[in-house]
Amino acid sequence: MEKTEVIELLSAEKIQQRVSEIGRQITADLAGTEQLLVVGVLKGAFMFTADLVRSIQIPCHIEFIRASSYGHSMQSSGNVALSGELDIENHDVLLVEDIIDTGLTIRRIAENFRKRNPASLRICTLLDKPSTRKYPVTIDYSGFSVPNRFIVGYGIDYAEQYRELPFIGTLP
**Type of residue numbered 95:** L
In the complex, the smallest distance separating the C-beta of residue 35 from ligand IMP, rounded to whole angstroms, is 26
Q: Least separation, in Å, of the C-beta of 158 and ligand IMP?
A: 6
Taking the complex as a whole, how short is the minimal distance between the CB of residue 45 and Mg ion, in angstroms?
7
Restricting to residues 18-57, name those near Mg ion by CB under 5 A.
Answer: 44
Type of residue numbered 122: R
| Catalytic residue, candidates 101, 128, 140, 157 | 101
Would you call 17 exposed, middle or buried from its count of C-beta atoms within 10 A (0-12, 13-18, 19+)? exposed
Question: Which among ligand IMP, Mg ion, none contacts residue 69 (Cβ within 5 to 8 A by kind)?
Answer: ligand IMP
Say whether 101 is catalytic.
yes
> How far is Cα 116 from Cα 43, in angstroms, rounded to an integer?
23
Within 8 A by CB and 6+ apart from 56, the residues are 23, 26, 27, 36, 38
Of residues 92 and 98, the one with the C-beta less far from Mg ion: 98
Dump strand ranges (E) for 4-133: 7-10, 36-42, 60-68, 81-83, 92-100, 120-128
For binding to ligand IMP (CB under 6 A), which residues are involved?
A: 41, 44, 69-70, 76, 97-105, 150-151, 156
Which of residues 30 and 163 has its CB atom nearest to Mg ion in the complex? 163
User: What are the residue numbers of the active site?
Assistant: 101
What residues line the site for Mg ion (CB under 5 A)? 44
